[in-house]
A and B are shown apart, each in its own frame.
Chain A
Amino acid sequence: MTLEVKNLTKIFDNKKVLDNVSFKVENGQTLGVVGFSGSGKSTLLKIISGILEKDSGEIILPNNSEVAMAFQYSALFDFLDVYDNIAFPLVERKEFRGKYSKDEITKIVSQKLQMVGLEGIEEKFPSELSGGMQKRVGFARAIVTNPNVILYDEPTSGLDPVTSTMIEDYIVRLKRELNASCVVVTHQLSTIRRAVDYVIMLYQGKIVFDGKVEDFLNNKNEYARQFVTASIQGPMNIIGK
């Protein structure tokens, strides 16, 4: 399923957080969105997922599309255990109410947990899980409705390198198994290398790089070079930010 964003603009307090942003994510591809903090990456995901309203522009998705989002800090419901967290949309969403029996829900939950490499933790509460496990439960909850578009907001932030690698592998695996289009907002170069097909870079709400991962990493663009080399010198003024 193709996700297309056309001339998307969002203004907060007279400041353009997103300024005419356009891109396309083809079916089965993963787009990486990079940029410094405050460049509009998370706002972009929130608008695509429907959390925020756009001021202008278009988000083009086929009618029967299902958009899911994995949040930066997992956003698991802390008053529910893992089972109820994952089953939440199947139980509470209006159109699914009464559609699935208890046994079917149990089967779906354990299948999704299996897909993210977590089994037998259904009765645990989010506070009993490590950061990496919480992220994976967040993934399982996001994919429980078999989405066509999956959005990841900084999926590896705050995790150790090994757990990050595991999370990156799951991003690739879930995309393959669900044949979904994915958008990954990240700061991590390892995530771009391992889990992303092409990259856009945002600076002050505008796209300043749009291209392949190799081109991004090989310093073919001055903005990308500054980001990859983590340099203070460059076209992006980060000192007065």
Chain B
Amino acid sequence: MFELNKTFTYQRFVLLWGQIEEFLILIGNLGKDFVDVIKRILSLEINLNETIEQSKRFAYDSLPISLTIVSMTSAIIAMQLAPELARQGGADYTGMLSALVMVRELAAVMSAFAIISMVGASFASEIASMAVTEQISAMKVLKVDPIAYLFVPRFIAGALFMPVVFIVSGFCGLVCAGLVSNWCADLSLLNYFTSLWHGLYIRDIFIALLKSSFFGATIALISSSCGYSAHGGAKEVGLATTKAVVSSFLAIAMWDFIFASVFYL
């Protein structure tokens, strides 16, 4: 029995160590890739056509899912919040609270989650399948820099267009919350939108835009990096995609905590 437990503990330790090692490798790769990307951007090694193509994927292709998720979330919050506030005599605060919640947190975070599942996963699987089918090796032999061709356009697209997705989805979210408040708590739309302005601060909007930009760049970098480090066969493509999605979710949660601590504590 003791022998069995000892073996079991050892196996768990090995497994845990494997996971720690994998995490450290991921952090190392991310750091290296980030430095490489910044070097390329500073030396203006920017492929404009690819950047436009990737921006289209970020801003346009992901918009329906981002809009749906943010709008649904804001509608649900309004559905919970508006009747309760109306009962407590604070219906006029619905707009303000919705604006605070949406602009400071939900629009950016929910859009990021939508983009991770839609764009990040596709970046990771695409680059991973290029890696396992030697397309990236072919790129190197043809003396085309894979970092400049694959990473930089995605990184720039993420940093520039995630804020655009945030603005559009945040706006739609606030409109949805207004409509739902009107439907659930008979709050007049005029009252909702008047109160909404009280919850909108320029500072919050700027912080949210900056945060979205960080989110976008992070998703692009993690997805590309996880895909790039894939090797082996089809199974590795799936593993790289999973790793990219999970790591991106964790990174977004971490960034959100850092932003909240720095700007709102």
A interface residues, Cβ below 8 angstroms from B: 46, 49-51, 67-69, 71-73, 75-79, 88-89, 92-95, 141-142, 145
Partner of A51, one of B47, B133, B137, B148: B137
Residues 108-152 of B, flagged 1 when their CB comes within 8 A of A and 0 if not, give 000000000000000000100010011101101111110011000
| A158 CA to B47 CA, complexed, in Å | 36
Chain B residues with CB under 8 Å of A77's CB are 130, 135, 138
Chain B residues with CB under 8 Å of A145's CB are 142
| A68 CA to B141 CA, complexed, in Å | 6
A–B complex contacts, Cβ < 8 Å, 27 sampled: A46-B137, A49-B140, A49-B141, A50-B141, A51-B141, A68-B141, A68-B142, A69-B141, A71-B138, A73-B133, A75-B135, A75-B137, A75-B138, A77-B138, A78-B135, A79-B126, A88-B144, A89-B142, A92-B142, A93-B143, A93-B144, A94-B45, A94-B143, A95-B143, A141-B142, A142-B141, A145-B142
* Chain A, residue nearest B126 (CB): A79
Majority-rule SS of A interface residues: mixed
| A179 CA to B191 CA, complexed, in Å | 81
| A46 CA to B140 CA, complexed, in Å | 10
Nearest CB of chain A from residue B32's CB, rounded to whole Å: 15
| A69 CA to B133 CA, complexed, in Å | 14
* Chain A, residue nearest B142 (CB): A89
Chain B residues with CB under 8 Å of A49's CB are 140-141
The 6 closest A-B pairs by CB, nearest first: A75-B138, A75-B134, A89-B142, A92-B144, A69-B141, A51-B137
| A100 CA to B145 CA, complexed, in Å | 19
Nearest CB of chain A from residue B137's CB, rounded to whole Å: 5
Nearest CB of chain A from residue B16's CB, rounded to whole Å: 22
| A92 CA to B143 CA, complexed, in Å | 9
Nearest CB of chain A from residue B81's CB, rounded to whole Å: 45
- B143-A89 in contact (CB<8A): yes
Interface residue count on the B side (C-beta < 8 Å) = 17
Nearest CB of chain A from residue B230's CB, rounded to whole Å: 15
Chain B residues with CB under 8 Å of A95's CB are 143
* Chain B, residue nearest A144 (CB): B142
| A93 CA to B148 CA, complexed, in Å | 10
| A194 CA to B141 CA, complexed, in Å | 26
Nearest CB of chain B from residue A66's CB, rounded to whole Å: 9
- A51-B142 in contact (CB<8A): no
A71 and B144 in contact, given A92-B47, A92-B149, A94-B45 (Cβ under 8 angstroms):
no
| A145 CA to B144 CA, complexed, in Å | 13
Chain A residues with CB under 8 Å of B126's CB are 79
A71 and B142 in contact, given A92-B47, A92-B149, A94-B45 (Cβ under 8 angstroms):
no
Which of B45, B140, B149 is the most central at the interface, judged by chain A CB atoms within 10 Å of its CB? B140
- A93-B142 in contact (CB<8A): yes
- A73-B144 in contact (CB<8A): no
* Chain A, residue nearest B140 (CB): A51
- A69-B145 in contact (CB<8A): no
Given contacts A75-B134, A141-B138, 19 further A-B contacts (CB under 8 A): A46-B137, A51-B137, A68-B142, A69-B138, A71-B134, A71-B137, A71-B138, A72-B134, A75-B138, A76-B135, A77-B138, A78-B135, A79-B126, A92-B142, A94-B143, A95-B143, A141-B142, A142-B141, A145-B142
Which of B126, B133, B137, B142 is the most central at the interface, judged by chain A CB atoms within 10 Å of its CB? B142
Chain B residues with CB under 8 Å of A88's CB are 142, 144
